[in-house]
Structures are given as C-alpha cells and as structure tokens.
Amino acid sequence: MKQIQRVAKGKRYLISRLRRDVVPTGLIKCSQRNTCLLAAIIIAFATLNPVCAQDESTVLDRLQERQGAELGSSNKAESIQVGKAIFLDTNLSNPTGQACISCHIPQHAFADPKPQSTGAINHRVGTRNAPSLMYAALIPSFAYDDFFTPEGDEIYAYEGGLFWDGSARDLFEQVQKPFFHANEMNLDNEEQLANRLRKSNYSNDLKKLVGEAVWQDDSAVTYQAYLALVVFLRSPIFRPFDSKLDQYLAGDLESLDEKERRGMQVYINGGKCNDCHPLNAKHWDQPLLSDFGYDNLGVPSIGKPDGGLGAHTGNKDELGQFRSPSLRNVAITAPYMHNGSLKTLREVVEFYNARDTPKRRWKQTDFPETVNRDDMGNLKLNEREVDDLIAFLHCFTDRCIENMSDEEQFPVPPKDTPSVQTKSLYFPGWTQRLHRSFKQSTTQD
Ligand code: HEC
Ligand code: HEC
C-alpha cells in the first residue's frame, strides 16, 4: 500500500462532519480511491457540471447491466427461498444443531441477546456480540476514503465493511465465514459444506440454481449457496423501513410525541449522536443511522484485548476501533457494543454522557491510547435529556418485528417495500464480487 497520510487521532469529529456535509456519496458510493478523489474535487468546487453527471450515469448503467446479467430476475425468488433454507439449516454445522438463526434471532432484529454467542461446540465462546442483520446488506463495502477539509487538506479514513472490524470486505465475503469459524458452525472445508448441501432437503432447488452439469463441483455448489444467502439478506425482510422514525421522516410529524421529539434534539445537538449515526440519508434513500466510520469508544474490556480495525490493518492508531453500527432496531438488540459489554440502552447513553467524569463506573478499556475523547465522554446531559434520548432511540424499531406473532418465523415487511431490482443501483460495491473468478481481498488499495 502506498505511504499516505492517515487520519490523525482526534480528527474523528471532523471526519464525521465531512462525511455528513461534504461528501455526497449516496448513489456513487466510492470504493475506489480515484473515484472518491474525483467526487471530492467536484464537490470542493461545488460545480455540478453536466459532463460529470453524464460520466456518472454511464458507470451506474454499466453496473446495473452487469448485475442484471448475474442475478437474472427469473431466479431471484428461488434464490431467496434457498437462502432462507440455508439460514435455517442446522445440519450445516459440526456437530450439527447450529444454523445462522441460532445466533441471529428474528425477534431480536436478528441479533443475539447473549453478550457473546456460543458456537456449535458448546464450550467455545467468541469475543464479540452477534450484531443485527437488519440493513446489513446496505452496509457499504470496506473502503479507504479521501476527504477534503474546508481548508483543502486531504485526509483519509476507513469506512464500511462487514463484521465489527470490517474484516470482511462485503456481504458476499462475510456469509462464507460462519460455516468454517471454530467458534461458529465449525465445518472443516468447502467439500464438507458442499456434501451437506447436496444432501439437504432443499437440494433440488439448489441444484436448479447451480445447474446439473456442475452439481458435483464443490466450489460451484458453495458459490451458489453464498449467493443465495446474500440475496436472502437483501430481501425486503431485512429492510422494511417501517419504524416510527420512518413515518416521521415521511412527513407524519405527529408520529413522534413531544418527549420523542425532544429526544431527537438531544440526538442531534447535545448528544452529538447524529455525527456518527446520522439521520440524513446517504448510502440509501432512507437513513441507516450510521456513517460506517471507525472509532474507539473506550468500551469496557471483557478480557483478551480485541484490536478491531487495527488488528487487520496493522496500524497501531487504529487499534480498538470498531465500525459505527446502524442504530435501526437498537431498542431490541441488547446487549451493546462489539463485545456486548453494555447491557441496556440507558447504560449506553450514560456511558457516552459520563465516561470521563469522576462518576465513571466502567472498567478499563483494551486500548486507552486510541480512545476518542473529543466527541463524547462528558456530554453534560441532564436526567431529562437522557430519558428523552432513550425514548427517541425506541422509535427506531421496525413495526413488523415489534408485531411479530409467535407463529411467524420471520417478520413480514410492508407490501410497498421496494424491490431490490429497482434499488440495484445502491449495491454497486459488491456486484463485481458476484463472479466466482473474482479474487478475495480484504484491503482496498
Ligand atoms: C455462533 C453464532 C453465530 C452463527 C451460527 C452465525 N453468526 Fe453471524 N455473527 C456472529 C457474530 C458473533 C458476529 C460478529 C462477529 C465479528 O464482528 O467479528 C456475526 C456477524 C455476522 C454478520 C455481519 C453483520 C455486520 O454488521 O457486520 C453477518 C451478515 C452474519 N453474521 C451473517 C450470518 C450468517 C448468514 C450465518 C449463517 C451462515 C451466521 N451469521 C451464523 C455470530 C454468529
Ligand atoms: C464519534 C462517533 C460516535 C458518536 C458521536 C456516537 N457513536 Fe454510537 N457508536 C459509535 C461506534 C464506533 C460504535 C461501536 C463501538 C464498539 O462497539 O466498540 C457505536 C455504538 C453504539 C451503540 C451500540 C449498538 C449495538 O448494536 O451494539 C449504540 C446504542 C450507540 N452507539 C448509540 C449512540 C448514541 C445514543 C449516541 C449519542 C449520545 C452515539 N452513539 C454517539 C460511534 C459513535
């Protein structure tokens, strides 16, 4: 990787502002340094000239064409069905008995209420909390982005990527990992996975997607299985956008009561939550409540230090940094943070509010030297503001999950949830990954 200036510690606040105000990524989420540079320069001069707009649409058209070819609409419904069956299949672990759904529980917005999940082998416990899978398909790919400060300085920071530390470049890379992780489903290799898929009770449907001719080819079978999982995780179940917040943002101002509206002001102003969990839409046309940037909040240690982003980028300034999660459905995804160390939403808010005050009650953190002490830790919010803010965080829960009946296995999204086909432009980052010959890589440059 080229020697380039990394973002200095303590500039996180500036970056979150720049992300929010200056870089209009939106549709053209920059995953290439040069594209981003171009976008930033265009914005720096604030001239939306027609030549550039034309270039943009050509790129998007090409991506859409490619995606259309890869993911022919004719078998999308079948892929979703197969993806769902894999998600539920407890025969794909060693020993059997564990599936994706064992740790990603629908009633908890597909997160795990245990601070750390237990794997297929019962005594093996990981070190991280299983996050919600709601909106996970909309997390942008791992990228190293440039930003321009108002003074014209260029700074760099990582954003996006799957897993708390961004170690999977995108969802396609991510869905492959749980099968083989010793603390998760614990299979030995792809051959074992392919054999079990061929014996599954959905094998006929999978065979139709793979094709008779290559049905004995392990990599062809597992490739289709990963793809089906990705397609399933992109389906409307995982992106219903039907919370109270969405109703409010769609113009129904009465949907939030007075307390919740006061909480929104705390979220934007005194709490500064909006700087890293923004309410404005950027990566999708509704807000995802994350800027997908990385930070070390100094959360209490649970034992063995977890280097987070720094552990796989090799940069010591990034040790202890984790990706800012979407706050959608946050009221039902307790416990919190990458290691599940904070138990309730109240504790999270109190942590942001009073981490650095004499009243502090939290244990030592893993990497004190990289903790963000500029944007949080002593917010001086009073009791009422804390209460209001918590009430507002409860407005992020999707109604279709809240109202799930005991008979339902998965939430039923509203009928008008837009199809992925019409929204395919939002997925440029991983379209190229949908080809088997595309090489894996975890870093951008
Ligand atoms: C043993 C419990 C367990 C099982 C089984 C499991 N996961 Fe996970 N999952 C986790 C944990 C823990 C994390 C967070 C790990 C990390 O960040 O390092 C995670 C992270 C993820 C993420 C990333 C979300 C994000 O915000 O970055 C996705 C997507 C995911 N899992 C999908 C799946 C799928 C699909 C399956 C089945 C093939 C599965 N998981 C099986 C525990 C599990
Ligand atoms: C400077 C950026 C930043 C600011 C400001 C910020 N957050 Fe966060 N938030 C993060 C990051 C990064 C994480 C993940 C940290 C980790 O797991 O170690 C996180 C995690 C969380 C979580 C845990 C979610 C989960 O699924 O476990 C909650 C809840 C949360 N933030 C709420 C808030 C609230 C409320 C505010 C305002 C009082 C706020 N955040 C302000 C960056 C920020």
pLDDT tens digits along 216-244: 999 999 999 999 999 899 888 999 999 99
- Percent of the chain exceeding pLDDT 70 equals 77
CATH number at residue 307: 1.10.760.10
CA of 132 to the centre of ligand 1 (A): 9
pLDDT for position 119:
85
**Number of structural domains, the chain?**
1
SS3 168: strand
Number of other residues whose CB lies within 10 A of the CB of residue 207: 17
pLDDT for position 406:
86
Confidence of residue 117 (pLDDT cuts 50, 70, 90): confident
In a domain, 50, yes or no: yes
- The overall average pLDDT reported for the chain is 81
Please indicate whether residue 115 or residue 422 has the higher confidence score (pLDDT). 115
Whether 433 has a pLDDT exceeding 80, the answer reads no
pLDDT tens digits along 292-325: 999 999 999 998 899 999 999 999 989 999 999 9
**Mean pLDDT throughout 263-269?**
97
**Mean pLDDT throughout 70-86?**
77
pLDDT for position 50:
32
Ligand 1, atom 15, lies closest to the CA of 163
In a domain, 291, yes or no: yes
Whether 416 has a pLDDT exceeding 60, the answer reads yes
Phi-psi region of 371 (alpha: psi -120 to 50; beta: other; left: phi over 0): beta
337 pocket-lining for ligand 2 (C-beta < 6 Å) = yes
In a domain, 301, yes or no: yes
Instruction: Output the six-digit token pair for 58.
Output: 């050509």
In a domain, 333, yes or no: yes
User: Domain range holding 253?
Assistant: 12-68+241-400
CB proximity list for 211: less than 8 A, separation 6 or greater: 220
Rounded CA-CA distance 359/382 in Å is: 14
Whether 161 has a pLDDT exceeding 80, the answer reads yes
In a domain, 419, yes or no: no
Confidence of residue 247 (pLDDT cuts 50, 70, 90): very high
Instruction: Output the six-digit token pair for 225.
Output: 């299985």
**Mean pLDDT throughout 186-212?**
96
The pTM of this model reads 0.86
Q: Which ligand is nearest to the CA of 167?
A: 1
In a domain, 126, yes or no: no
Ligand 2, atom 43, lies closest to the CA of 276
Q: Which ligand is nearest to the CA of 233?
A: 1
Please list the alpha-helical segments (H only) found in 26-75.
33-44, 50-70
pLDDT for position 6:
46
242 pocket-lining for ligand 1 (C-beta < 6 Å) = no
Pocket test of ligand 1: the residue of 94, 125, 133, 196 to mutate, having most ligand atoms within 8 Å of its CB, is 133
In a domain, 156, yes or no: no
Give the helix/strand (H/E) hosting 146.
strand 143-148
170 pocket-lining for ligand 1 (C-beta < 6 Å) = no
Q: Which ligand is nearest to the CA of 141?
A: 1
In a domain, 111, yes or no: no
